[in-house]
Amino acid sequence: MSEKPVVLMPEDIQRVMGKDAQRNNILAARMVSEVVKTTLGPKGMDKMLVSPTGDIIVTNDGVTILEEIQIEHPAAKMMVEIARTQESEVGDGTTSSVMIAGKLLENAEKLLDSKIHPTLITKGYRMAAEKAQQILNEISLKISPDDDDVLKQVAMTAMTGKGAEDSREKFADIIIRAVKQIGDFHSSESTQSFERKQVQKNWKVDLDDIKIEKAKGDSVEKTELISGIVLDKEKVSNEMPEKIEGAKIALIDFPLEIKNPEIETKISISSPEQLQNFLSQEEKVIKDMVEKVAESGANVIFCQKGIDDFAQYLLSRKKIYACRRVAKSDLEKISKATGAKIVSNLGELKDVDLGKSEVVEEIKQGEDNMTYIRGCSNPKAVTILIRGGSEHVIDEIERAIKDGLGDVASSLKTGLVVPGGGAIEIELSKRLKHFGQSLGGREQLAVEEFASALEFIPLTLAENAGMDPIDVLTELKSKHNAGDMNAGLNLFENKVDNVLNAKIIEPYKIKSQAIASATEVAIMILRIDDVIASADSKSGKMNYAGSKGYQGMD
By the criterion CB under 5 A, which residues form the site for Mg ion?
A: 92
Residue nearest ligand ADP, CB atom distance: 420
Q: For residues 489 and 421, is the Cβ–Cβ distance under 8 A? A: yes
> Which of Mg ion, ligand ADP, none is residue 492 near (CB under 5 to 8 Å by kind)?
ligand ADP
Q: How far is the CB of 306 from ligand ADP (least distance, A)?
A: 41
Q: Mask: binding to ligand ADP, 145-184, rule CB under 6 A, as x and -?
A: ------------x--x------------------------
95 catalytic, yes or no? yes
Q: Name the active-site residue from 59, 94, 157, 460.
A: 94
Contact status: 404 vs ligand ADP (CB under 6 A)? no
Q: Name the active-site residue from 39, 59, 85, 95.
A: 95
Got the DSSP string for 116-174? Answer: --HHHHHHHHHHHHHHHHHHHHHH-EE--TT-HHHHHHHHHHHHTTTT-GGGHHHHHHH
DSSP tag of 467: S
DSSP tag of 240: S
Q: Which is closer to Mg ion, CB of 371 or CB of 410?
A: 410
Contact status: 100 vs ligand ADP (CB under 6 A)? no
Contact status: 62 vs ligand ADP (CB under 6 A)? yes
Q: For residues 121 and 378, is the Cβ–Cβ distance under 8 A? A: no
**Residues 113, 117: Cα–Cα separation, whole Å:** 10
Question: Which segment (5-13, 90-98, 135-143, 369-377) binds ligand ADP by CB under 6 A?
Answer: 90-98
Distances (CA, A) of 206 to 145, 156, 180, 423: 15, 20, 11, 29
**Residues 427, 390: Cα–Cα separation, whole Å:** 42
94 catalytic, yes or no? yes
Contact status: 517 vs ligand ADP (CB under 6 A)? no
φ, ψ of residue 508 to 5 degrees: the values are -55, -40
**Residues 86, 511: Cα–Cα separation, whole Å:** 10
Q: How far is the CB of 400 from ligand ADP (least distance, A)?
A: 9
- The H-assigned helical ranges of 3-117 are 18-37, 62-68, 74-89, 94-113
Contact status: 490 vs ligand ADP (CB under 6 A)? yes
- How many chain residues interact with ligand ADP (CB under 6 A)? 25
Q: Name the active-site residue from 39, 61, 85, 338.
A: 61
**Residues 302, 24: Cα–Cα separation, whole Å:** 54
Question: Which segment (128-136, 166-174, 352-360, 416-424) binds ligand ADP by CB under 6 A?
Answer: 416-424
Contact status: 457 vs ligand ADP (CB under 6 A)? yes
Interface with ligand ADP (CB under 6 A): 39-42, 44, 60, 62, 92-96, 157, 160, 420-422, 457, 461, 489-492, 504, 506
Task: Supply the residues annotated as catalytic.
Answer: 61, 94-95, 403
